[in-house]
Chain A
Amino acid sequence: MEKKIIDKTSEILFTYDAKLCNPNGDPDEENRPRMDWEKEINLVSDVRLKRYIRDYADDQGIPIYVRKIEGKSVKPEEVIKSVGEDIDELETFIDIRLFGATIPIKKETRTYIGPVQFNWGYSLNKVELLEASITSHFASDEKKQQGAIGKDYRVKYSFIAFSGIVSARRAKETRLTEDDLKFLDRAMKEAIPLQATRSKIGQYPRLYMRVEYVDDKTLLGELRDYVKLIEVVEKPRKIEDVQLDITDLAEFLHKNKNVISKIYYFKHPELCLVCGGNVVDFKDAFGTFELEEV
């Protein structure tokens, strides 16, 4: 176990696509996918992404704080008790170390701002919604003979980009270790496909980059600004219909090479990367950096 608390900041670029599913519903909009109608793009909240990672930890038997116990919702004291009396919450719960928490325990509420923060995700393409009526075998009322009818909304195709940061300074407060970050890298790759439910099936991580800097204060800013989605066909409907142009990203990172220590990454084989007008391998574009595939 690598118990070393991280001492370098990172910035994250994460893209995944969603085909005929609902990446993140808006509860006040009949659970329609979240949309920015001004720009006709699809939105995904940061807490949706964090929940994938929490559930992934939970499935692996890693204790998390924001959860239910045996399917029942409980008081925070109970969650703390369920893993043993007098525990150290930072030692025990990986999600507090990653994302922070408010821990309301009688007379002393502790607040941690998480070292890992994601901005809201948005689609790099314009997104159309598909609307359907669905029928259920369950009645909405015990007197009714027929099943209930509901609405089902999905995106036709959405290529979603998230950006995130990892703050070494905040990591000191929550004791986030190198190991925890390795877990995060793995979760980013595996969590979404594993959490496939009715509304979430059809989503695949396509590109993940965690650019680790040389010190604890460097942050270069939104990496999403340096990637562009090329729509090979009008109105893309699948991963083969798009390419990701990383020309500006490669240029930007090379320009700042002196503050970058390492890039952790994975790239889905079906995603086509374009750099300087040519289709490239990830390693062609970023080979001059120290790379580690997660």
Chain B
Amino acid sequence: MKFLVFDLKGKFAHFRKFYTNSSSLSYLVPPRTVIEGMVAAILGFKRDSYYGVLSAENLLVAVQKIERTYKIVQTVNYIKAQTVNELKNPNTHTQVPLEILAGYNGFVGFRVFVMPKDEKIYSLLRARLESGKSEFPIYFGSAPFAAKTEFLGEFEACRWEDSRAGILTVLDAGLIKSLSLELESASSLALMRDRMPCDFDKDRFATKVKTYIHDENLNPIWVDLDSSAQDKVYYIKEFSGDRKECICVM
């Protein structure tokens, strides 16, 4: 089996946390649903039309953070509307804190591994990524924050049979039997844990929400895997160090 691999870069990002009601807080990594939307934009699926065809079952996604980031908090002035009729009432505004993700090197960057199971979608996506052209413009979570793909190629992947692995990508915490942190590397780890949506139903409601962990300092996380990780963890030679790191599907 093969994964399509590309890097995503952009100046700023905002991946809204679904569980806050007023403040627009941002995740530190894009949830699977963001990548799903980007793939849909590249292919030209219209809004709300792709939640089935690109669901977690039909589109495998793994995301590796490749740039260190920090957050800027800015308050934005939104129009206050408690009913739809008030939405156009520019006299009542409400101030909403907005977290913006920015990169220490001047941009935010992620490496994305995707495998659409449908062959037609796979080959169209590969062609689009190769040409760098996208039907709809892609962005990091919010329309102003434009993003750009850099295609790295398609790479042969195999299932990881071992129970222990160093995971490069955002890791589904449900697959962890135990964290086996080695002390000498643990000192440079900054593990982050958050609940992110994984899948949408046709009305854009999150049907699956999972807990994920990743390392803010961009290190792989060494874990003992649960038996349920069988079809979630893959090994790709070209993206693995000498210690055989793996990727994990979100």
**B72 and A170 form a contact (CB under 8 A):** no
Instruction: Report A211-261 residues with CB < 8 Å from chain B CB.
Output: 215, 217-219, 221-222, 224-225
**A75 and B144 form a contact (CB under 8 A):** no
**B74 and A217 form a contact (CB under 8 A):** no
Query: B26-44: contact bitstring with A at CB < 8 Å (1 yes, 0 no)?
Result: 0000000000000000001
Which residue of B86, B88, B132 contacts A66 across the interface (Cβ within 8 Å)?
B88
Cα distance A265–B185 when bound, in Å? 52
Which residue of B44, B47, B85, B133 contacts A75 across the interface (Cβ within 8 Å)?
B85
What is the chain A residue whose CB lies nearest that of B95? A27
Cα distance A119–B145 when bound, in Å? 5
Interface size on B, residues (CB 8 A): 42
Interface-side segment among B111-119, B135-143, B152-160, B190-198: B135-143
**A114 and B143 form a contact (CB under 8 A):** yes
**A45 and B74 form a contact (CB under 8 A):** yes
**A163 and B92 form a contact (CB under 8 A):** no
By a CB distance below 8 angstroms, the chain B residues around A36 are 72, 102
Cα distance A169–B135 when bound, in Å? 7
Q: Does B148 contact A (CB under 8 A)?
A: yes
- The verdict on A221 contacting B88 (CB below 8 Å), with A36-B102, A43-B72, A167-B136 known, is no
What is the chain B residue whose CB lies nearest that of A28? B75
Query: A160-179: contact bitstring with B at CB < 8 Å (1 yes, 0 no)?
Result: 00010101011000000000
B198 to chain A, nearest CB (A): 23
Query: B185-210: contact bitstring with A at CB < 8 Å (1 yes, 0 no)?
Result: 00000000000000000000000000
Cα distance A170–B47 when bound, in Å? 11
A174 to chain B, nearest CB (A): 13
Interface-side segment among A102-110, A142-150, A276-284: A102-110
By a CB distance below 8 angstroms, the chain B residues around A73 are 88-92
**B75 and A104 form a contact (CB under 8 A):** no
